[in-house]
Amino acid sequence: MAVDNTILSARAVMRDAPVIPVIVLHDVAHAVPMARALVAGGIRMLEVTLRTPQALACIEAIARAVPEAVVGAGTVRSAEDAAAAANAGARFAVSPGYTQAVGEACRANGLPLLPGVATASEIMAAQADGFDALKFFPALQSGGSAMLKAWAGPFGDVLFCPTGGIQPGNAAEFLALANVACVGGSWLVPADALAQGDWARITTLARQASQLKNG
């Protein structure tokens, strides 16, 4: 079932499933079958990173052909990225860090934004601009679950999506935290599965991820 744009928010994106897949696509032909495979496994919030020349075309293909998916743009680093993502049909944005320019551009283009933060000062800067659903990145390198526990006191009103180093073996550790809504992970869409067109494997990985439990 498609999600109504009018009710989509950053928190709605984060609470839809335990994992948001972080997707790197090099071939537009992979975009639609991959998206369908993820949706079949119960994962519909799809972050296609703007790390390849084909990324925007992949977002456009998914937005057009897979209405059950909610495709977003990751690695949004500028106002230009935000505008291009929205024009391609992205319905949310994820950034590795936060700047006011990116925040303003996402609002102007109607994109709920999950801004990346790694320090208390960055959380405060994002909150000052009205963002309280944040991506903790890179999660493992920035203190992992211990850092999120420490932030629960001063930032009890903030919800996080830790991303960076999250795997099936440690996802539950993060999802058990009260201030974590979901995690971001690249393991749902392995490069070899894409290369081989192994959509059944991607569906299986998505189904397993969709069954992870929040604390």
How confident is the model at residue 1, as a pLDDT?
45
Which of 31, 25, 160, 2 minimizes the C-alpha distance to 91?
A: 2
76 burial via Cβ count (<10 Å: 0-12, 13-18, 19+): buried
Read off the tokens for 6: 């009018």
- Give the pLDDT score at 187: 98
20 forms beta bridges with 184
Q: 135 with 115: CB under 8 angstroms?
A: yes
Q: Is 68 in the active site?
A: no
The yes-or-no answer on residue 60 being catalytic is no
Residue entry with tokens 């989509």: 8
Residue whose C-alpha is closest to residue 204's, from 17, 23, 8, 41: 41
User: Helix crossing, 55-65 with 79-88: angle to 10°?
Assistant: 30
Low-confidence ranges of the chain (pLDDT < 50): 1-2
In this prediction, residue 3 carries a pLDDT of: 54
Q: DSSP character for 203?
A: H
Which residue out of 80, 135, 149, 213 is catalytically annotated?
135
What per-residue confidence (pLDDT) applies to 213? Answer: 84
CA–CA separation, 72 and 114 (whole Å) = 10
Structure tokens at 21: 């897949």
